Amino acid sequence: MINLLKIAKDFKPVDQYGSPPGLPIYRLKQFSHSIFYTPGLVSVVASNFGDTFRDLLLGKPSPGALETLIELKSKIVNKARQSLKTYMNFQDDTFEPECLTLYLQNQCNLACEYCLIDRRRIQEEKLHPETVLEGTKIVAVSCKRKGLPLTVVFHGWGEPTYNIHLLQTMVKAVDGVATKAGLKQYRYIATNGVMSQGVANYLTKNFDLVGLSCDGPEDIQDCQRPLVKSGKSSRFVKRTASILNEEGKSLSVRTTITRKTMRRQEEIADYILRELKPDEIHFEPVYRARTEGFRPEDAQEFVEHFRKAKDLASGQGVKLSFSGSRLHTIHGPYCNVFRNVLNLVPGQKATACFAEVNIFPDERYMIGKRRGRCFEIDWGKLQKLKIALSRSPKSCKFCFNHYHCVRTCPDECVGDAYNIEQKGYNETFRCQVQLFMAAQQILSCAKLIIDETGTIPIFGWKEIKNFLSSK
């Protein structure tokens, strides 16, 4: 068994003092090879040339260095500079929303055991059609300027199909703005699948992609996601999936993995593949759970079972992913201000956090609200939030996964008063899972390079996005 914690800790910056100046280039010594990584690019160098290549990267004299190494150095340094520029743009780029996300209301027909909302105390709140109209206009302007379709996501801690008339009203409101602006639309809805056949048929006709939540076989689904009145939800989920499949609708399944289901990930994937027949699957570890949460020592076991489930799905042509660390793109936390998402919530406001409407009681993360017939964005507050949310713990500074990690999000907001260092963020379950996922993918890519090259000395490289797209 590979010790992923040791691998992750051994992946060190080429020079932790920042030479080449500030560039994210990392090295891992592995048996007969050295693996060099910069965001988006994996390179392998035979061990007897590893130190020579490191010196080349650091700008030190390297007499006798092979021409191929010099060419590889140029490729890595250029890639590292591009990555650094992309990462810095997160803070500096102007917020120009390309996606409208709507949390229609906060009512739900399920009583999920890990839900963060106390349904007994909640008061019904809804988005107002006028708010949606004004918000859609803001997004439409950006999409028109960028030549993009208008993407609208119907989401919510409340089930978006719970009030089908409200959903239909909002779909028509968005459609009216998009049509007037001459924009194509891309519609996505995240649902728990508990609905009538009529509502399921409505989704097949009005949405491009349906995201269906299912935690696995009946014993898991009905325990973790029961109906409000203690009924079983699994039969509804299977029926909804069947209707969507019959109509040829694209289906994505989102699964919450808890500590008690961690070792059943391969079984869960098998069930979802057989019963729901999705186009893609997303496994996410539960966060801020009321039930027993994960422990740091669970991380390697979680990743190993995830890998088995991923391999099973891949063998059937279905991608199974995890969003906490995504090596094919440079990203930070899930914050809407970094993803150009205008997120509207009940109360007629826009929030910088996808979970803010239910988690945070204050308005620190509100970036806009409706005033009369207009929707106003607080641009000054938005920019301050981008700066605050761009910060990283000191323990992350030299981490090889720094550019592909959501940090503590969504367990703890990175914009909060910064006490993460004192809590030992780099020793948490989420940090280690994200590290291990990234390390495992880089190692797999490096092995493929070695297998394809087949000779020693080896000077091989591969774009990580090309490697991941073939998995």
Instruction: Tell me how far CA of residue 178 lies from CA of 76, 131, 148, 186, 373, in angstroms.
Output: 43, 15, 11, 10, 19
- Amino acid, res. 464: I
DSSP letters of 20-61? TTT---EEEEETTEEEEEETTEEEEEEGGGHHHHHHHHTT--
How many of the other CB atoms lie within 10 Å of CB of 144? 14
Q: Could you tell me the mean pLDDT of each successive run of 10 residues in the chain, 471 residues long? A: 82 73 87 91 90 87 76 93 88 89 92 77 78 96 97 91 96 97 98 98 98 98 94 97 97 97 98 98 86 86 97 97 94 90 91 70 80 90 86 81 89 66 66 93 92 74 86 64
So what's the pLDDT on residue 209? 98
Residue range 164-185, pLDDT digits in tens: 999 999 999 999 999 999 999 9
3-state SS, residue 340: coil
Q: Which residues contact 68 (CB under 8 A, 6 or more apart)?
A: 459
The rounded distance, in Å, linking the Cα atoms of 30 and 444 is: 13
Q: Which residues contact 404 (CB under 8 A, 6 or more apart)?
A: 39, 325, 326, 327, 329, 330, 331, 438
So what's the pLDDT on residue 258? 96
Owner of token pair 């774009």: 463
Contact present, 324 and 341 (Cβ < 8 Å): no
So what's the pLDDT on residue 230? 83
Tokens in use for 169?
A: 């009203």
Tokens in use for 242?
A: 């069947």
Kindly give the interhelix angle for 164-181 and 129-146, rounded to the nearest 10 degrees: 40
So what's the pLDDT on residue 423? 52
The rounded distance, in Å, linking the Cα atoms of 240 and 122 is: 27
So what's the pLDDT on residue 361? 45
How many of the other CB atoms lie within 10 Å of CB of 57? 24
* pTM metric for this prediction: 0.93
Q: Which superfamily does 99-377 belong to?
A: Aldolase class I (3.20.20.70)
So what's the pLDDT on residue 120? 55
Taking the domains of the chain in order of start, what are their residue ranges?
4-92+430-469, 99-377
Instruction: Tell me how far CA of residue 464 lies from CA of 29, 61, 301, in angstroms.
Output: 19, 30, 24
Instruction: Tell me how far CA of residue 380 lies from CA of 95, 98, 366, 376, in angstroms.
Output: 11, 20, 12, 12
Tokens in use for 168?
A: 């239909």
Residue range 99-142, pLDDT digits in tens: 999 999 888 999 999 887 765 555 678 899 999 999 999 999 99
Contact present, 164 and 128 (Cβ < 8 Å): no
So what's the pLDDT on residue 289? 64
So what's the pLDDT on residue 388? 82
Q: Which residues contact 305 (CB under 8 A, 6 or more apart)?
A: 262, 263, 264, 265, 266
